[in-house]
Amino acid sequence: MALELHILGPAFSLPSIDPQCLAAIAYLMRAVPRDRWVLIASSDTALSPTRDLPAIKDGTTTIGGFQNIVDYLDTKSNGQWHLDNQFSDSTDQADITAFSSHLTTHALPLLDLSLYVSSQNYTTTTRPAYTHLIPWPTQYFIPPTRRSLAKIRTEHLGLNSLDMDTVDDEERETRKARNLVPEALRSTNKHRQTVTGLVKQSQGGMRFRLDALVDALCEPLEHLLGDKRYFLYDREPSSLDCLALGYLSLALVPDVPMKWLRERMESRWPGLVAYARSGVEECFGGRVGVEDALLVDRAERIEAGGQLPWRAPELKGAKFAEKVIWNEVLDRVPLFRTTILTSPSNPESESASSQRPSPSSSAALLPTIVTATTALAAVAGYLLYAGFGRESENRRLSDMGEAGAILAGLDFGNPGPETKAEVPVMRGGVPVGLEVDVAVDEKG
Amino acid sequence: MSQDADATPEEKQKPRAKAQIKHSSWSWFATPQPIKHLFDKFPLEIYSENELPQRTAYERDPHALYVFTTNDGARAGAPSFNPGCLKWQAYLKFRNFPFITKSSNNHASPTGALPFLLPASSSSTSVEAPPSPVPSNRIQRWTRDVREKRIADSKSSNLGNKEAKQGEAQPETRASTEEATASSDIWDIRYEAYMSLLDHRIRNAYLYSLYLSPPNFDAIAFPLYIAPSTTNTLVRITISHQLRAAAEAELLKQSSRIDVEAIYQESEKAFAALSDLLGDDEYYFKEKKPGLFDASVFAYTNLLLDKGLGWRDTRMVNGLRCHPNLVAHQKKLKKAYF
């Protein structure tokens, strides 16, 4: 039976929206014979014992996570499907480990900032991409969850001014505080214009720091690559090459409005860019659309000469949404929530996911199902609310068309739609902060 | 960094202020205007600021590194039991920097995290402001600055004293060699990559193994981090819960589930890679003296190999013991510097 590789679906003309999934696709393309595996864009994180895709399903065994998949393929094929086994030198193995770690730890924050934290890129590119991949209503809470996780991960970098929502929030907070504090006690020096302040305002400082982050990622990698075709040797790729392809392609391919990541890489690290582009061509074979992954008839695909062995996911539409919501509910029930997996790679002790009641098998437990359904409704409502709430902070009633205009008229409490909310509409690659100031000046 | 984030909206506010006050003035909970006017008159008089208390000079004479350690350990200069602190403690020792350690906790630090270094106040000029503390991420730069300053000072004094050509040549050469060892920022493409192994893979495994593995938490983390701070059982329970939750949250940032097996395996691979990088050399990157990378490795290996701590869940320790050169590296550094 063929191995099933489950991934998050395609986006930005790449076969997946997630770097680890892309890495896994590249690895299987290079290591496993094509007729031995299929690619399924199921987007169903509950499949994986680690709750993260990619996951590989081999009969009853499911393995989640890129490194675990590499190890599993190694044991399953007795070392035949292991790209790194050809490097007998221990220094090569050490380099693969070290640079993989370097890549994941430095590239992930950059992708987080570029695709999720930056409000502009998120609303114009990432969120719409998710809308195409996953059925209604899951797009209202899967992308925001991923976004808030990305924000947490990049918090320490102090670059949250990329995110217009937090900037507005902070502004609201300071405004509130200002109204409470007597005039004489308000510190005046905060409003003094400094050179650093001006630089920051024009986002020059932020750009500078982002560029430094990009350089920290690329410099060691480009030196390791040199003139070679792959990172270690000319002839054969390693698992590091697959991992790098996953992260670098997501940095280079998506067409986002704020292109700092791509621009810096193209201007400063052309070797790495050329390497990633040729890797995308080699492994993923040109543009991949959502329809390729979700609607395909397999026979048609092969005739059309598609490179990736797609198979349509079993769960679609409402059924998928039901499963996702159900799992979200269970995740929020305190006693059900298991965050620590002690032996997931052990196939005998099946993971937590299989011990959980599935929606169909719990029919015998009537009381449970009653409470669970109530909880489901409540949490689904909460999730929708939270999803909307988080994303629509800057929306006003008047943004909701005619009904909104009527409701806005009824809403005496709010002093009408704020003009400010319209400001962060961007054109071209103009930096966020600069644009805001200019727009206000025009009005005032 | 947080200051930067705060500053941006503040500065932006100025041009916008006019438009915003109009919108934000109406609220159920807003202060009524007459009362607001009344309070705007306060305070009636503002006194000038008090001067900061100047400590007695002898106490502040040496540089002081504030770390997690016991009071006895602080006096003896024993290695800290926190890897982040031990890394910098070891680094300063390797650089032959005179300093004393002081027992402290996160609440004392200006950045909210230990270690931090309080430079010695220059005793002659008591008027000048006390030196500001140096957080851990600036220690390396600070040591370099101090060295350069000292070299520059000695150079100028030497030049002033004797203008003979011989006297000039000597400090020059000494300065250059000292500078080379002081900065010693050997740039190697592998430096960053292998450093990420320590900062992430090994740190993750260490976090799990110390805080989330119950036998280790009871045997090591509890007596070292929690017991000294309070004797109240309820507070102890709360603190230990908070510590564990923080460690869990840190690990959950990277994945939606903490995959213990994967974490341990990654740490084992990381130790193998570090062992391979060291090879048969004495110190990392073929240096003659141990540097920051050696300090970073030592910070973890010393704690893991410390029999006095009493690791119960020895998975990580065993992973380290497979590599004799890493064990020897730790022994040598411990013997030479602690």
The model's pLDDT over A388-401, given as tens digits with 9 standing for 90+, comes to: 544 444 444 444 44
Q: Is the dihedral of CA A112, A113, A116, A121 positive or negative?
A: negative
Whether A23 has a pLDDT exceeding 90, the answer reads yes
Report which secondary-structure segment, H or E, holds A273: helix A270-284
Checking phi first, is residue A228 left (phi over 0); if not, alpha (psi -120 to 50) or beta?
beta
Burial class (CB in 10 A: 0-12, 13-18, 19+), A345: buried
Q: What is the pLDDT of residue A273?
A: 92
Q: Which member of B189, B191, B259 has the closest CB to residue A65?
A: B259
- Cα–Cα distance for residue pair A114/A371, rounded to 1 Å: 41
Q: What is the mean pLDDT of chain A?
A: 73
Higher pLDDT, A27 or A305: A27
Q: What is the pLDDT of residue A324?
A: 77
Which residues of A are less than 8 Å from B38 in CB distance?
none
Please write the tens of the pLDDT for every residue from B36-90: 788 777 777 778 877 766 655 445 567 888 888 888 888 888 888 888 899 999 9
**pTM to 2 decimal places:** 0.73
Please write the tens of the pLDDT for every residue from B207-255: 999 888 888 888 888 888 888 878 888 988 898 898 888 888 888 888 8
Which residues of A are less than 8 Å from B248 in CB distance?
339-340
Whether B337 has a pLDDT exceeding 50, the answer reads yes
Q: What is the pLDDT of residue A204?
A: 63
- Asked if A174 lies within 8 A of B39 by C-beta distance, the reply is no
Report which secondary-structure segment, H or E, holds A3: strand A3-6
- Cα–Cα distance for residue pair A143/A391, rounded to 1 Å: 10
**CA-to-CA separations, B94 to A151, B117, B151, B174, B199, in angstroms, rounded:** 38, 16, 19, 19, 20
Average pLDDT over residues A305-321: 71
Higher pLDDT, B13 or B119: B119
Q: What is the pLDDT of residue A187?
A: 57
Please write the tens of the pLDDT for every residue from B318-329: 889 999 999 999
- Cα–Cα distance for residue pair B232/A151, rounded to 1 Å: 36
Output DSSP code: residue B121: P
Q: What is the pLDDT of residue A203?
A: 58
Checking phi first, is residue B285 left (phi over 0); if not, alpha (psi -120 to 50) or beta?
left
Q: What is the pLDDT of residue B138?
A: 84
Whether A14 has a pLDDT exceeding 90, the answer reads no
Residue A153: Cβ within 10 Å count: 17
pLDDT-derived band of residue A411, with 50, 70 and 90 as boundaries? very low
pLDDT-derived band of residue A348, with 50, 70 and 90 as boundaries? very low
- Asked if A339 lies within 8 A of B43 by C-beta distance, the reply is no
Of B22, B23, B259, which to mutate for an interface test with A (greatest number of A Cβ within 10 Å)? Answer: B259
Average pLDDT over residues A219-241: 87
- B240: Cα separation from own chain's centroid: 22
Q: Work out whether strand A3-6 and strand A55-58 pair parallel, antiparallel, or are unpaired.
A: antiparallel
Whether A275 has a pLDDT exceeding 70, the answer reads yes
Name residue, tokens 């909880």.
A375
Average pLDDT over residues A157-168: 68
Whether A289 has a pLDDT exceeding 90, the answer reads no
pLDDT-derived band of residue A22, with 50, 70 and 90 as boundaries? very high
**Across A54-58, A379-383, B283-287, least confident range:** A379-383
Average pLDDT over residues A126-155: 84
Higher pLDDT, A300 or A277: A277
Q: A363 near A357, Cβ under 8 Å? A: no
Whether A110 has a pLDDT exceeding 80, the answer reads yes
**CB contacts < 8 A (A, B):** 192
Q: Which member of A94, A101, A224 has the closest CB to residue B189?
A: A224
Q: B80 near B67, Cβ under 8 Å? A: yes
Calculated CA dihedral for residues A389, A390, A391, A396, nearest 10 degrees: 50
Name residue, tokens 């006690």.
A185
Q: What is the pLDDT of residue A171?
A: 67
Q: What is the pLDDT of residue B170?
A: 43
**Across A93-97, A184-188, A193-197, A416-420, least confident range:** A416-420
Considering chain A, what percentage of its residues have pLDDT values greater than 70?
A: 64
Stretch 30-69 of chain B: residues touching chain A, C-beta under 8 Å: 30-31, 39-43, 46
- Cα–Cα distance for residue pair A146/A143, rounded to 1 Å: 5
Q: Which member of B5, B11, B20 has the closest CB to residue A201?
A: B11
Which residues of B are less than 8 Å from A419 in CB distance?
19
Q: What is the pLDDT of residue A369?
A: 62
Whether A298 has a pLDDT exceeding 70, the answer reads no
Whether A247 has a pLDDT exceeding 90, the answer reads yes
Average pLDDT over residues A300-322: 67
Which residues of A are less than 8 Å from B276 in CB distance?
90-91, 93-94
Considering chain B, what percentage of its residues have pLDDT values greater than 70?
A: 76
- Asked if A418 lies within 8 A of B23 by C-beta distance, the reply is yes
Residues 6+ apart with CB under 8 A from B138: none
- Asked if A158 lies within 8 A of B12 by C-beta distance, the reply is no
Output DSSP code: residue B77: T
Output DSSP code: residue B114: S
**Number of residues that this document lists for chain A:** 444
Which tokens go with A357?
């009641």
Closest Cα to residue A201, out of A431, A394, A430?
A431
Residues 6+ apart with CB under 8 A from A333: A375
Residue A432: Cβ within 10 Å count: 22
Nearest CA in chain B to A178: B21
Nearest CA in chain B to A174: B10
Please write the tens of the pLDDT for every residue from A356-388: 444 444 444 556 666 777 777 777 777 766 655
Q: What is the pLDDT of residue A243?
A: 92
Domain ranges of chain A: 318-431
Residue B9: Cβ within 10 Å count: 21
Q: A24: helix, coil or strand?
A: helix
Q: What is the pLDDT of residue B122?
A: 59
Which tokens go with A127?
């969120």
Q: What is the pLDDT of residue A357?
A: 43
B162 in reach of chain A (CB within 8 A): no
ipTM: 0.73
Q: What is the pLDDT of residue A82?
A: 84
Please write the tens of the pLDDT for every residue from B106-139: 888 888 788 888 887 654 444 556 677 888 888 8
pLDDT-derived band of residue A415, with 50, 70 and 90 as boundaries? very low
As a whole number of angstroms, the longest Cα–Cα distance in chain B is: 82
Residue A118: Cβ within 10 Å count: 27
Whether B199 has a pLDDT exceeding 80, the answer reads yes
pLDDT-derived band of residue A287, with 50, 70 and 90 as boundaries? confident
Closest Cα to residue B268, out of A342, A238, A97?
A97
Taking the CA of residue A227 and the nearest CA in chain B, the distance in Å comes to: 15
Q: What is the pLDDT of residue A376?
A: 77
Q: What is the pLDDT of residue A208?
A: 83
Nearest CA in chain B to A167: B9
Higher pLDDT, B81 or B172: B81
Whether A322 has a pLDDT exceeding 50, the answer reads yes
- Asked if A68 lies within 8 A of B196 by C-beta distance, the reply is no
